[in-house]
């Protein structure tokens, strides 16, 4: 029996649920497995906490869109599809923690494609670990933790790249290059995501006018906000608000 067959033979005898329970022993780590349609097939307790539920039975078979703001869930979906389409993993990407909308906390996320015995990608697995810059984290984590916290705290303001680069103690060109490498998007795109995520929450949880929300979230005006929102969400702010309120009534 070759090594591959030996491994397959062993794991075919292992109770999957008991094996996955091992990940509950790492409370600072979120672990998940999804199928090609983005449905959760496995998740540990920390992952359940991120989703806002008590038990994994409430997560299995559902998707990110059932638990996170649409804009954030779409970002997760795009990353997942990229990994499954290309077969290339995402390793140690810094991003906002999924624990709440607008969270300034950072997590280090890795995702790998899952293949069947024929080598065909059938899903994805991933880890997210909360970053603690006081415990010897990477230089990138330490460098950008303050920048990200600043972006989340000051998204309403007009921020420029030179100001952010100075906080990271980098030149503008170095900052642009390294921010994109670490987060997968530019600082401007990241800030736009933060603003849109806050806007989604405001549209859902308040009765403020769309124009008021637009200005409050740092957009130039109603028209600018609507263009950015539709580009990312594929619906207008008003349509998004109506759909979310309809969902709440159904529930």
Q: What is the dihedral of CA 220, 226, 232, 235, to 10 degrees?
A: 170
Is residue 107 classed as helix, strand or coil in its secondary structure?
A: strand
Q: What angle do CA 81, 202, 190 make, to 5 degrees?
A: 45
Average pLDDT (105-133) is 86
* pLDDT, tens digit, 9 for 90 and up, residues 126-149: 998 877 654 555 666 777 888 888
8-state DSSP, 124: E
User: H helices of the chain, where?
Assistant: 3-11, 16-20, 45-51, 70-86, 139-153, 161-167, 172-183, 187-205, 210-216, 222-233, 237-250
Contacts of 87 (CB under 8 A, 6+ apart): 113, 121
- Look at residue 250 in the predicted model and tell me its pLDDT: 53
- Look at residue 174 in the predicted model and tell me its pLDDT: 93
- The mean predicted confidence, pLDDT, of the chain is 85
For domain 14-130, the CATH superfamily is: PAS domain (3.30.450.20)
- Look at residue 226 in the predicted model and tell me its pLDDT: 94
The domain ranges of the chain are: 14-130, 139-250
Average pLDDT (161-172) is 91
CATH class of residue range 139-250: mainly alpha
Residue 82: pLDDT band by 50, 70, 90 thresholds? Answer: very high
């Amino acid at each position: 029996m070759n090594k591959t067959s030996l491994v397959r033979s062993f794991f075919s005898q292992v109770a999957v649920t008991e094996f996955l329970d091992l990940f509950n022993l790492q409370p600072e780590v979120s672990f998940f497995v999804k199928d090609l349609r983005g449905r959760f097939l496995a998740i540990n307790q920390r992952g359940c906490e991120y989703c806002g539920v008590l038990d994994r039975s409430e997560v299995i078979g559902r998707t990110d869109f059932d638990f996170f703001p649409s804009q954030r869930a779409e970002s997760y979906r795009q990353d997942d599809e990229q990994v499954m389409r290309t077969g290339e993993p995402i390793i140690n990407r810094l991003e906002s923690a999924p624990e709440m909308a607008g969270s300034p906390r950072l997590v280090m996320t890795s995702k790998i494609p899952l293949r069947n015995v024929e080598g065909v990608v059938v899903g994805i697995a991933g880890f997210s670990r909360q970053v603690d810059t006081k415990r010897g984290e990477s230089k990138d984590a330490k460098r950008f933790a303050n920048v990200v916290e600043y972006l989340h705290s000051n998204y309403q303001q007009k921020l420029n790249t030179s100001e952010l680069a100075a906080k990271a103690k980098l030149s503008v060109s170095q900052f642009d290059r390294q921010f994109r490498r670490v987060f997968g998007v530019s600082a401007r795109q990241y800030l736009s995501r933060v603003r849109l995520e806050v806007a989604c929450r405001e549209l859902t949880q308040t009765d403020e006018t769309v124009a008021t929300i637009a200005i409050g979230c740092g957009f130039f005006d109603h028209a600018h906000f609507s263009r950015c929102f539709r580009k990312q969400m594929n619906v207008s702010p008003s349509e998004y608000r109506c759909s979310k309120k309809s969902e709440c009534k159904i529930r």
